[in-house]
Structure 1
Amino acid sequence: MADAEPTVDKKNKPDTIIQLIVFRLGEEEYGLRIEQVKEVTVTPEIARMPKTPPFVKGIANLRGDIIAIIDLEERFRLRPANEELPALSYTLAIEAKDYTIGIVVREVPQPLSVPVSIIEKAPEFIQDININDKYIEGIAKIDGRIIIVLDMLKLLTPTEIMQLQPR
């Protein structure tokens, strides 16, 4: 039997590959699109700020810019509040249109290339728990791993962004 000629249709077009920066929060893996990450660095010295939510660790000087440092493990309630960060942690600088924030993580973040087609939409029940929680872009399943893909630009509410703005 002769091999059939391959057909090319919209379903078989090459899949778009995106780059994620993957890191652990609690026991889970999370990822951000690389274009949302300005840089990854060892966490600089953090100065506590009064009247900020507990997940805001404080502010830090990152290459001359003063940015707010936030702890997503605390924000997502993945560990007890006010638990100290380890002596060595890493910060992902996230640049939005109006602000730059630092996300602190405990392990070195790793780059990972994934096809867009494997990122499934987050289940509706997760998205509907809180109307402000639309920051989960989707769930990527790759090589037996489950990676929760976040949209950092939707993570903070407008009120929280105002609290973090340098005055």
Structure 2
Amino acid sequence: MPDADKNAKQEAVIQLIVFRLGDEEYGIRIEQVKEVTITPEIARMPKTPSFVKGIANLRGDIITIIDLEERFQLRAATAEPAGITYTLAIEAKDYTIGIMVREVPQPLSIPVSIIEKAPEFIQDINIHDKYIEGIAKINGRIVVVLDMLKLLTPAEIMQLQPKAESSAAATRTKA
């Protein structure tokens, strides 16, 4: 019987990186975060959505920096962040983006079982935005768990990719 007790206690746990957007806490699975750093100098880019702050050099890689508070409309687009911000580098299969946040992100371990599906009305409103993995309630806190790999639409991903890569791909397609 002791083995059964051990198995019961071996509940699946996930590691999140938790940060604030507006007044709410959001979390990303740690395996989706390549690194966390103080936001490097950002070069603005023309003709990009307002939530795209620009591009930055992160350890030799040029990545697009986006502001989730603006993306989720949790803050006025005209309000610029004051002071030091932090960037979470998110690495997907075809791109790496930087998510800008205003406070130092914190790690948090939680049991998978406490992540509840987002309420139906939120799922219906965000029918094309399946980036909300669920809601975790822990010690009086509510953490919205995001799937960062579903955050951007395919059209936005294409728009954010460096032009050199897309023109090279176009050349290969024509050949």
Shorter-chain TM band:
over 0.9
Which one of the candidate residues 102, 111, 118 is aligned to 1:122?
118
Gaps of 5+ in 2: 164-175
| 2:89 aligned with 1:93 | yes
1:43–1:104 CA contact under 8 A, matched in 2:
yes
Residue 113 of structure 1: aligned partner: 109
Residue 24 of structure 1 aligns with an amino acid whose one-letter code is: R
Superposed counterparts of 1:41-80, under 5 Å: 41-80=37-76
Paired with 2:69 and 2:109, the residues of 1 have a C-alpha distance of 24
- CA-to-partner distance for each residue in 1:45-79, whole Å, 9 max, x for gaps? 00110000000000000000000000000000101
1:61-116 superposed Cα distances (whole Å, 9 cap, x missing partner): 00000000000000001010121122210000000000000000000000000000
Report the TM-score, using the length of structure 1 for normalisation.
Answer: 0.92
Q: Does 1:160 align with 2:159?
A: no
Aligned-residue sequence identity (percent) comes to: 81
Match of 1:132 in 2: 128
TM-score by length of 2: 0.88
**8 Å Cα contact 1:54/1:82 also seen in 2:** no
**Structure 1 residue runs of 4 or more that deviate by more than 3 Å after TM superposition:** 5-9
Paired letter, 2:39: T
Q: Which residue of 1 aligns with 2:146?
A: 150
CA separation in 2, counterparts of 1:75 and 1:146?
20
The offset of 1:121, in angstroms, is 0.7
Equivalent residue, structure 1, for 2:166 = none
Find 2:99's aligned residue among 99, 103, 112: 103
* RMSD of aligned alpha carbons: 1.6
Q: CA deviation at 1:7?
A: 9.6
Cα drift, residue 15 of structure 1 = 1.0
Larger helix proportion of the pair: 2
Q: Structure 1 unaligned runs (5+)?
A: none
Matched positions, count: 162
Which amino acid is 1:82 matched to?
Answer: T
Provide the secondary structure at the position in 2 that maps to 1:73: helix
